[in-house]
Amino acid sequence: MSKIFKSPLFILALLTLAAYGPLVPFTGFYWDDWPFAWIAKFQGPYEFIPGFMQFRPFLGPIFYITTSLIPSVPLYWQIFALIIRFGMGASLWWSLSQAFPEKKPFAFIAALLLIVFPGYSQHWVALTHINQELIPFIFYVLSFGFTFKALRSEKPLANTLLALLFQLCGLYPTEYSFPLESLRVLLIFFFFVDGNLIKRCITTLKLWWPYLLVWISNAAWLIYYYKFGPYDSYEANTFESVGVFNLALEILDTLWKACFYIWAQIFTLLAKSITAPTSLLTIGLILVAFLVLTRLLSRLASENESRFFSTALIITGLISILIGRLPSLAAGLPLRLQTGYDRFMVSMMLGSILFAIGWIELFIRNGKVRPYVYMALVALGVGQQFYTGNVFRRDWEKQKEFYWQLTSRIPVLQANTVLLTYQLPTEYEPDLSYTGPLNWIYAPDFVLGADLPYALIFTEKRIGGSTLPGLGPNIPIRFNYRTTAFNGSTSQAVVIYMPVNGCLRVLDATRGDADIYAKAPDELTQAIPLSRPELIVTDSANPASPAFLNESAPVNWCAYFTKAELAHQLKDYEKTIHLLDEATALGYQPEDLNEWLIYIDALARTGDSDSAQEKSLELLKQDSRMKRGVCVVWKKLALDEIQSALGCNP
C-alpha cells in the first residue's frame, strides 16, 4: 500500500487548512448566523428548543449543544467550521473504505473532493450551516459506513443498529438529508448483490428494509409537518405548476451544474476580473496546491477500474443528483451557484463526486495520468473555496463599516424604534439578520421574555407584506423573531441610507432629503417623511458600540462624516465644519459628493456664504448631477441671489 494511505487524515487536515484556513481570521457572521448568535447570547442555548418548534423541531437540540459549547464569537465558529469540514472528509473516507476496502484510493479521492467541493459556497455561514446541514450530513455519511461494515461482517447486528441510529440523527433534523438515502440503496444494489435485475432488486430490498422503514417514517413525518403540522416556511408546489417544459429545463440545468460546470466554474469567476489581486492570489494558490498535491500523492497511480464499476458510479451519481434536487424543486426554489441557494447542493454533492470519479475512471484509462486529473480537480476546488472566502471577507468588511458608522451616527436610540432603509450594500444579510446585531448594539441588557426593542427593515422587500403593510403614519409593524417579537409603528422610525460607495446617513425630510434623493428608488424616498431623527439620543454618557467586533473603529472619511452629520442634526454647525475640514486635512475625501451638502449648509448658516457658494461651484464643476442637491440646500437657506448665481430655479 502506498505511503500516502498511512496518513490520510493528515492530508485531509492539510487540505482543509489550505482551502479555508487563510481567511478564517477575516470572516464573520452572515445571513441567519446573526439571529442565531443573538439568541444564544441573550436568550440562552435552550431557547433554540422552542425556537425551532415551528420550523425544524429536531434541529433545536443540535443548536442547543453546539451553542452551549461555542460562544457567539465569529472566529470561534469559523474555526469550528474547519473541524466540521475536516470531519466531513474523514467520515466519507472511512465510510467508503468500509464499502470498498480494496479500493482505498477511490475512497480517499472522494474525501478530498468533498472537502473542497466547489458547488457549495456556504461554508463561511458557519453557525447556520454547521448546525442546519453539515452535522446531520456527517451523521448520514457515518450511517452509510456502518451499513457497509455490517454487510461485510459475520455479526452485523451491532453495526446495523449504529447505522440506524446515525440515520435517525441525520434524517430527522433537516429535510436536506432526506434525498441522501438514495445513495445507500444504489450502492447496495450495484456493489453488494449479484444476479439479474429481479434478483438484485429482491436481495437489495432484503438488505435495505430496516433503513427503508426509517426513511418512510421520516417521509410520513414530513408530509404531516408540511401539510398539517405547525411548519412555517417554504410552501411546496406541485410539479404541474412548474410545467413539463420548465421541469425539463430545470433537470438539464441541475445536471449541467452538478455534473460538469461546478468543477470548472472558477475559470468563469476569475475571467470576470483576472488582474484583480484576489484573482491573482487564487491562481497562485491553485498552482501551489497542485504542486503540493503532486508531491504528496505522487504514488496514487492505480489499476484501471472495471467498466462496470465506473458505469455504476456514474448511474448512482446521476440518480442521486436528480433525487437530491427534488425537494428544493418541489418548493419552487432555484439552484443558483455562488448564492445562498447553492446550499441545496448538500443533497447532491455526494452524487456529483461519484459521477465525476466514475466519468474519469471510465474515460481516462491511463493509470499514471488519471491521478493528475484528480489533483487538478482538488486544486481547482481549493482555488474556488479561497475565491468564495474572499467574497465573504469583503462582505464582512462592509458589515463592519456599517456597524461602526451606525454607532457613530446614532450613539443611542430610543427603544421601540425601527430603522427603515431600502437595502444595505452587503450580499448575504437580509434585514431581519441585521435586527440581531442592532439589538446586540443598542440593547446590551436585553432580558429574556421581553419584546425586541429595535428592528431594521428593508423597504425594498417588505412594503405591502405582513411585516411592513405600508409607509403611511401610525401603521403597526409587528413580526416574530423566533420566540420573541418586535412591536412598533411607522411613526417611530428613523430612515437611514448607505450607498455602495458612500457613508451611512440619517435621512431627514426637513433637510430636503426627499428632493435630494428623488432619483433613488421609490421605496426609499416614500419612507423619508417618516424619519424622526429626534429619536436619536445624543446626550448619553454610554454611547453604543459594536462590542462583538472586538476591534477599534477605523479612521477614515466616514468616521468624520457620521459625526459631522450628527453635529449638523444638533445644529452645531461649527463642529460640522471643523470635522469635515479635519478629515480633508488628513487627506480623506468622500466617494459620494452628496456628503458635502451638510458642509455647504453649515458654512452658510455660520455666515460664510461666500465659502459655501465657492464649494457649491466646485461640486458642480466636479459633477453637474450635483445641481439638484446643491439647489435644494440653497432653497432651504432661502438665499435667492445665490440660487440665481448657481442656476437654480426659483
CA distances, 521 to each of 359, 469, 493, 497, 514 (Å): 50, 18, 19, 12, 11
Can you read off the three cell numbers belonging to residue 434?
441585521
Ramachandran sector of residue 332 (left: φ over 0; alpha: ψ -120 to 50; beta: rest): left
What local confidence, expressed as pLDDT, does residue 647 receive?
Answer: 83
Q: Which residue has the higher pLDDT, 532 or 54?
A: 532
- Is residue 240 scored above 60 in pLDDT? no
What average pLDDT score do residues 220-240 get? 63
- Is residue 49 scored above 90 in pLDDT? yes
What local confidence, expressed as pLDDT, does residue 242 receive?
Answer: 60
What local confidence, expressed as pLDDT, does residue 6 receive?
Answer: 59
- Is residue 1 scored above 50 in pLDDT? no
What local confidence, expressed as pLDDT, does residue 324 receive?
Answer: 93
What average pLDDT score do residues 334-350 get? 92
Can you read off the three cell numbers belonging to residue 156?
452485523
What local confidence, expressed as pLDDT, does residue 329 receive?
Answer: 85
Residue pointed to by grid coordinates 430610543: 414
The closest of 312, 287, 475 to 386, measured between CA atoms, is 287
3-state secondary structure labels for all residues of 472-500: CCCCEEEEEECCEEEEEECCCEEEEECCC
What local confidence, expressed as pLDDT, does residue 490 receive?
Answer: 93
Q: Beta strand 484-489 with 476-481: parallel, antiparallel or unpaired? A: antiparallel
The closest of 39, 31, 40 to 69, measured between CA atoms, is 40
Q: Which residue has the higher pLDDT, 230 or 177?
A: 177
- Is residue 234 scored above 70 in pLDDT? no
Relative orientation angle of helices 597-605 and 557-569, to the nearest 10 degrees: 40
Can you read off the three cell numbers belonging to residue 159?
453495526
Q: Let me know: does 420 contact 494? Beta carbons within 8 Å.
A: yes
Q: Which own/partner contact pairs does 80-85 have at CB distance under 8 Å and 24+ positions apart?
A: 80/126, 80/130, 81/20, 81/123, 81/124, 81/126, 81/130, 82/16, 82/17, 82/20, 82/21, 82/24, 84/130, 84/134, 84/135, 84/138, 85/16, 85/20, 85/115, 85/123, 85/134
Q: What are the structural domains, with CATH classification, of the chain?
A: 3-394 (no CATH), 410-535 (no CATH), 552-650 (1.25.40.10)
For 485, phi then psi, to 5°, come to -150, 155
Q: Let me know: does 455 contact 415? Beta carbons within 8 Å.
A: no
- 433-476 tens-digit pLDDT: 999 999 999 999 998 888 999 999 999 889 888 889 999 899 99
- 531-578 tens-digit pLDDT: 999 999 988 888 999 989 988 889 999 999 999 999 999 999 999 999
Q: Which own/partner contact pairs does 389-392 have at CB distance under 8 Å and 24+ positions apart?
A: 389/20, 389/22, 389/23, 389/27, 389/123, 389/124, 390/23, 390/278, 390/281, 390/282, 391/121, 391/338, 391/427, 392/23, 392/27, 392/30, 392/124, 392/428
- 384-405 tens-digit pLDDT: 999 999 999 999 999 999 999 9
- 144-187 tens-digit pLDDT: 999 999 999 888 999 999 999 999 999 999 988 899 999 999 99
Mean pLDDT score across all residues of the chain: 91
Q: Which residue has the higher pLDDT, 638 or 217?
A: 217
> Which of 55-64, 220-229, 396-405 has the least mean pLDDT?
220-229
- 601-613 tens-digit pLDDT: 999 999 999 999 9
The closest of 456, 350, 392 to 137, measured between CA atoms, is 350
- Is residue 298 scored above 70 in pLDDT? no
Ramachandran sector of residue 108 (left: φ over 0; alpha: ψ -120 to 50; beta: rest): alpha
- Separation between Cα atoms, residue 443 and residue 453, nearest integer Å: 7
- Separation between Cα atoms, residue 64 and residue 31, nearest integer Å: 19
At residue 230 the predicted structure's pLDDT band, cuts being 50, 70 and 90, is low
What local confidence, expressed as pLDDT, does residue 246 receive?
Answer: 83
Q: How many residues does the chain have?
A: 650
What local confidence, expressed as pLDDT, does residue 541 receive?
Answer: 81
Q: Let me know: does 619 contact 626? Beta carbons within 8 Å.
A: yes
- Is residue 299 scored above 70 in pLDDT? no
Can you read off the three cell numbers belonging to residue 512?
430636503
